[in-house]
């Protein structure tokens, strides 16, 4: 059968791994998809760099846009990253020619996914992106295919390995956030500028794509409530353990009466549950379907091997002639969802206050919470040091997010805390 001619733009860690797989596993891949795969053209910024694989048989393009429009390719793989050009222009150009696209670019799809899906559908070609979410975990395929008959009520999980590594290491070592972040950077688990990861935006990009596939709507990145892990302390991790929880950065998307709820934030998850047991750089995703109930997917969320595995899965589907709607439903039918307000979210919370240990302080905390109908389930004051700052920890019953926010603002205004209160939502999936 005629080979599938592959054009690859982006030869970083993942791109080089994809090139190596195509070069070294050609026979096995051909037997799996029914036709040979040939890497016929590549594009990257540095032609001289050694990538651990011979690229002499592939035509070199210094401009990825020219690669995308080359008549020498049958499929375009975009691994450059970034929501704008050259990635956007290159993907648009390939789709305009009727060339199927495989991408690992979560930012591109989060911002321009609907327009690109419509362009792909107009030409009758695939736009695949398994590598954009949760690395080697085939969660897009699971939602789009395996759970296609289900009404998914909720999809949630640990979607950023950097944050999970930091929180896991903080718990194991008792070290502070800044110290562990520095270690993660030295080990290559965190970028030199880690803001995108630790601030929660990486998780938000992935969550909006999962929500789109799960609920059949357009990605709505601007409708996600986003918090990072910067304020999590070893003290919070210790108290969480004492209450029977671990702290994880979660992305949660669910159906609510008022619309689709999307949120990214640190959360306490009960010990012994699937998400609580996910350590290090691993990711995990849980989907709740009306027919199957709860299904759990866990694996490596980043790295050359896992991400290249996801790219190759998409590529093999194209070689087999498989084409599915980008977000699980025809592009013409998907629209921006009605979004639930974060203030309407209902849930229990862990609260930590740093107060001066003097008479009446606990009464002020309790009154401010009670004024907003927030009731206390349990409370800890670990040590007494009259006249010195001490932590007071409370677990609340379920309450509206808006009420919790007002109560915390009143506590700060009352002048009884020496630093901003810490609030961590508690999830009992």
Catalytic residue set: 206
Q: For tokens 């362009």, what's the residue? A: 119
Helix ranges, 258-338 (H): 304-320
Query: 214, 155 in Cβ contact below 8 A?
Result: yes
Give CA separation, 270 vs 241, 251, 267, 281, 365, in Å. Answer: 9, 16, 10, 20, 26
Strands 4-9, 37-43: pairing is parallel
Give CA separation, 359 vs 173, 351, 354, 364, in Å. Answer: 35, 20, 15, 10
Whole-number CA gyration radius for the chain: 24
Q: For tokens 């699980």, what's the residue? A: 328
Distance, in Å, from the CA atom of 204 to the CA atom of 196, rounded to the nearest integer, reads 10
Query: 165, 122 in Cβ contact below 8 A?
Result: no
Distance, in Å, from the CA atom of 284 to the CA atom of 158, rounded to the nearest integer, reads 5
Distance, in Å, from the CA atom of 42 to the CA atom of 24, rounded to the nearest integer, reads 17
- b/e for 230-253, b at 16 or more Cβ within 10 A? eebebbbbebbeebebbbbbbbbb
Chain centre distance of CA 193: 18
Chain centre distance of CA 266: 13
Q: How many CB atoms lie within 10 A of CB 68?
A: 28
Q: Which two tokens stand for residue 165?
A: 């590594």
Helix ranges, 249-330 (H): 304-320
Strands 346-356, 422-426: pairing is antiparallel
**Residue ranges of E strands in 10-151:** 37-43, 59-61, 75-78, 101-103, 127-128
Q: How many CB atoms lie within 10 A of CB 226?
A: 16
Q: Which two tokens stand for residue 115?
A: 């327009």
């Amino acid at each position: 059968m005629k080979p599938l001619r592959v054009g690859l733009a982006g030869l970083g860690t993942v791109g080089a791994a994809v090139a190596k797989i195509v070069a070294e596993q050609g026979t096995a891949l051909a037997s799996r998809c029914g036709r040979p795969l040939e890497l016929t053209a590549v594009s990257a910024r540095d032609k001289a760099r050694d990538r651990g694989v011979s690229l002499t048989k592939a035509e070199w393009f210094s401009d990825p846009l020219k690669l995308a429009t080359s008549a020498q390719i049958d499929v375009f793989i975009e691994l450059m990253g970034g929501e704008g050009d050259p990635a956007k222009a290159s993907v648009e150009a390939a789709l305009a020619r009727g060339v199927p696209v495989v991408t690992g670019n979560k930012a591109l799809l989060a911002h321009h996914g609907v327009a690109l899906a419509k362009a792909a559908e107009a030409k009758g070609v695939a736009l695949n992106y398994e590598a954009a979410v949760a690395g080697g975990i085939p969660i897009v395929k699971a939602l789009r295919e395996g759970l296609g008959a289900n009404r998914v009520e909720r999809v949630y999980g640990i979607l950023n390995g950097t944050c999970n590594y930091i929180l896991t290491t903080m718990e194991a070592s008792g070290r502070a956030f800044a110290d562990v972040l520095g270690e993660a950077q030295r080990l290559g688990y965190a970028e030199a500028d880690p803001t995108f990861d630790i601030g929660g935006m990486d998780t938000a990009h992935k969550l909006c794509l999962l929500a789109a596939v799960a609920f059949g709507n357009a990605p709505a990145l601007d409708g996600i409530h986003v918090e990072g892990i910067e304020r999590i302390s070893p003290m919070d991790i210790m108290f969480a353990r004492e209450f029977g929880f671990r702290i994880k950065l979660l992305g949660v998307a669910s159906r609510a009466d008022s619309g689709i709820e999307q949120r990214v934030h640190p959360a306490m998850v009960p010990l012994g549950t699937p998400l609580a047991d996910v350590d290090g750089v691993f990711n995990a995703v849980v989907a709740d379907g009306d027919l199957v109930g709860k299904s759990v997917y866990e694996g490596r969320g980043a790295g050359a091997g896992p991400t290249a595995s996801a790219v190759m899965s998409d590529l093999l589907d194209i070689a087999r002639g498989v084409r599915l709607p980008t977000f699980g439903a025809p592009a013409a039918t998907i629209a921006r969802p009605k979004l639930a307000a974060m203030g309407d979210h209902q849930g229990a919370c862990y609260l930590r206050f740093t107060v001066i240990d003097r008479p009446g302080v606990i009464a002020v905390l309790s009154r401010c919470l009670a004024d907003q109908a927030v009731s206390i389930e349990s409370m800890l004051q670990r040590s007494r040091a009259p006249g010195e700052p001490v932590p007071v920890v409370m677990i609340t019953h379920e309450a509206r997010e808006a009420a919790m926010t007002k109560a915390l603002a009143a506590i700060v205004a009352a002048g009884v805390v020496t630093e901003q209160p810490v609030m961590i939502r508690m999830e009992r999936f």
